[in-house]
Structure 1
Amino acid sequence: MVSALARIIVVLVTIAVLAVLAWPQFFGLQNAWVVAHAVSLRGLAVIVAVALVALLAVLLLLVRPLRGTTALLMVLLVLFGAVNTGILLHRGIGAGSVSAAETDAEADASITVLSWNTLGDEPGAENIAALAIAEGADVITLPETTEETGVLIAEAMRAAGRPMWVHTLAFDLISKARSTTLLISPDLGDYTVTSAEGSGPPGNTNVLPTVVAAPADGDGPTIIAVHAVAPIQWEMSNWRSDLDWLAEECSSAADSNVIMAGDFNATLDHFAGHADTGSDQLGGCRDAALSAGSAAVGTWPTWAPRLLGSPIDHVLATPNWRVDEMRVIGTEDGAGSDHRPIVATLSPAPA
């Protein structure tokens, strides 16, 4: 039979593993390989914990000598599931509405941001333009979208009375994933791309392009269309560097007036350690979904239920912007991309 020492080791190892997976920030492991992947799927972790409790319940009935250890492991798994459930509920699984603009002036000053990783133009320009028009988007950030598609989107929107300027940055023309397109309404003024065409800090993210556009006259927010590399084993260093660079961009922009949106390939857990103050933010930017109570809704992959997916697509802004709404759009799951689009409406925060 299993010795008492072996049982103690199993329990201690289980406690350590569950503690790290529940709150890796405490141990500084949120950006470590394997842990980074596991913590990005908190909804799935709850399901796995429930399944393991069910299996251990069978073991509890069948193996009498191990009942004490089995019961303790069940309690640990229940606590782990409860902690993850609490975190998900705190971050929000709701529709994402906060408040509407109270005056016409506030409504006129608000900015609606649509972001969608299109998996290399897969939904098509017509579908993307239709969604942008339906949502009243003023800013559209499109990781993995080529300039050609961006121009077609702008043409379709112009025909509908919603003209847009197109800014595309491509590291190469071999893979569509190496292009990011940003569309900005002329109503926001003229914008100039300031991010470098070459990859890597200090001018850009390392592997996939991020578009940084600054207002030509200095009046208005710096707008950043984000695409950080995924934290796969051989890209971990680049992924961490991408998050560092994005945090710096959000903290160092002129007058700290920034709106950034796109595919961060990171959840709020991974943002830990990159905040200027507090937590659950990147540099000086706050997550719109957290403010709107929708930060636990998964944006990737589209084949997974919304609460079992990973919320890795974000809209973030500096504190001078108030979040009116932030939603994950679930109607485009069959459009061809593996990411769900997101939309947020931001208004200038009261002084």
Structure 2
Amino acid sequence: MRFVRGVLSLVLWVISIPVLLVALARVLPFDHVVPLPQLAAFTPWATIAALPLLIVALFSRRWVLTSLLGVSFAGFLYWMAPFFLPPDTSTAADPADAGTVRVMTVNALYGQADAETVVRLVGSQNVEVLSVQELTPDFAQALTDAGLDDLLPHSFTVPAEDTPAGSGLWSTTELREVEQQRGSTFAMPSALVDVGGTDVRVTVVHPYPPMPAETTTWHTELAELAERVHSDTTTPQILAGDFNATYDHASFRDLLGSRFLDASREWGAGPAVTWPEGSQVPALLALDHVVVEKDMPVSDVVSMEVSGTDHRALVATVVVE
């Protein structure tokens, strides 16, 4: 009997250790060391796993493990609860209002996304600003052929052939003072967009992914982007794209700082998981975001399937004024 209890205890510890490691990765104020970014991304799923493990540990009187899982589960609840708390007013803003802008972002997977689906979503979702990552020349042309220019006639594109480095920005209104993030591996163009008489700088975001050998590059590019957007203290900003990071990454929260908010978290409908899509594995991670100023209410934040790519599109209504 003692042997059986020992084996069960060992199994329980082995199953619990990944959950405890995710909690540790989430609580640390940095994430540029492997495997911290890889672990922190699974915080929502570790939250789900922690509860039954805590119950089993409690009833089997594994007091040390119970304590560790209890603290971890309390932390998970604290971190995840805001994603399910709707704002004071959860009424969807009207995208037709002059002071609102409907923003959509999609990663086109080396330009393999279905252009007609993207254009159809732009039309059906009343999208006024579109951010595209992994834009190739062929995909840019496919979007034009599918009628995107009729819906969003103004654009600033930096396509790239056979690499994920290309990006593009489309808008219903003129794009002014176009810029591009310097030093980033992938193009991150930005421009001023008129929203009801207010100039808003919209930036397409796509840092290098946190691959084990490139975690420092990922962290550095997010930090440089944060420095750039926070240095402009006068212009309202919206950031939209594949951040290759979830809210549970310290690098992403550092980018937000006290100035910006993640639209999905503010809307309170749960994390908008966007990757990986279109495979046997369902979308697990919320890597795509619309980031807004903290005084910009958001509504109707939804993710939508786009055939041909491994990311779901993310759409949000942002109230500028």
**TM-score normalized by the length of structure 2:** 0.79
Aligned counterparts of 1:285 and 1:147: Cα–Cα separation in 2: 32
Asked if the contact 1:151–1:166 (Cα under 8 Å) also holds between the matched residues in 2, the reply is no
Cα gap change, 1:261 to 1:273, in 2 (>3 Å): closer
CA distance in structure 2 between the partners assigned to 1:227 and 1:301 by the alignment: 16
Bigger Rg over Cα? 1
Residue aligning to 1:301: 276
The separation in 1 between residues aligned to 2:145 and 2:175, in whole angstroms, is 18
2:146 corresponds, among 118, 142, 156, to 156
In the alignment, which residue of structure 1 is the partner of 2:115? 125
Cα distance, 1:208 vs structure 2: 1.8
- Report if the CA contact (8 A) 2:276-2:285 is conserved: yes
Q: Given that residues 275 and 284 in structure 1 are in contact (C-alpha distance below 8 angstroms), is that contact kept between their aligned partners in structure 2? A: no
Residue 169 of structure 1 pairs with residue 158 of structure 2: yes
**Alpha-carbon contact 1:258-1:318 (below 8 Å) kept:** yes
The residue correspondences of 1:260-279 to structure 2 (distance < 5 A) are 260-271=239-250, 275=254
Deviation per CA, 1:197-234, whole angstroms, max 9, x where unpaired?
xxxxxx142x2221122359x96111111111111111
Q: Could you say what secondary structure the match of 1:168 adopts?
A: strand
Partner Cα distance (1:272, 1:178) in 2: 21
Residue 246 of structure 1, CA deviation: 1.8
Shift of the alpha carbon at 1:299?
Answer: 1.4
Residue 224 of structure 2 corresponds to residue 245 of structure 1: yes
CA distance in 2, matches of 1:100, 1:154: 30
Compared CA separation, residues 133 and 273, structure 1 to 2 (3 A): closer
**Percentage of pairs with the same residue:** 21
Indicate which of 183, 195, 209 corresponds to 2:187: 209
Q: Is this contact kept in 1: 2:262–2:289, CA < 8 A?
A: yes
User: Aligned partners of 2:297 and 2:54: how far apart in 1?
Assistant: 42
Structure 2: state its 5+ residue gaps.
4-14
Spell out the pairing of 1:1-351 with structure 2 (5 A cutoff): 21-22=22-23, 24=25, 26-49=27-50, 70-74=62-66, 76-77=68-69, 79-81=71-73, 83-92=75-84, 98-101=90-93, 107-157=97-147, 161-170=150-159, 172-175=160-163, 177-186=164-173, 189-195=174-180, 203-205=182-184, 207-214=185-192, 220-253=199-232, 255-271=234-250, 275=254, 281-282=256-257, 284-294=259-269, 296-302=271-277, 303=279, 304-305=281-282, 309-329=284-304, 331-332=305-306, 335-349=307-321
Aligned residue identity for 1:34: P
Q: CA deviation at 1:174?
A: 3.5
Residues 238-262 of structure 1, C-alpha deviations (whole Å, 9 max, x = no match): 1111111221232123623111100
Partners of 1:295 and 1:250 in 2: CA distance: 26
Instruction: Tell me, in whole angstroms, the C-alpha distance in 2 between the residues paired with 1:53 and 1:101.
Output: 41
CA shift, 1:79, in A, is 4.7
User: CA shift at 1:37, angstroms?
Assistant: 1.1
Cα distance, 1:215–1:114 mapped onto 2, change above 3 Å: closer
Give the Å deviation of 1:165.
2.1
For 2:137 and 2:233, the matched residues in 1 are separated by: 27
**Which residue number in structure 1 is paired with residue 8 of structure 2?**
none
In structure 2, give the amino acid aligned to 1:80: S
Deviates more, 1:117-126 or 1:73-82: 73-82
Task: Rate the CA distance shift 1:270–1:135 in 2: closer, same or farther, 3 A.
Answer: same
Indicate if the aligned counterparts of 2:219 and 2:251 stay in contact, CA closer than 8 A: no
Query: Within 2, Cα distance between the matches of 1:56 and 1:98?
Result: 39
Structure 2 partner of 1:10: none
Relative to 1, partners in 2 of residues 1:39 and 1:25: Cα closer, same or farther, differing over 3 Å? closer
Q: What's the RMSD between the two structures over aligned residues?
A: 3.8
What's the offset of the Cα at 1:327?
1.6
SS at match of 1:33: coil
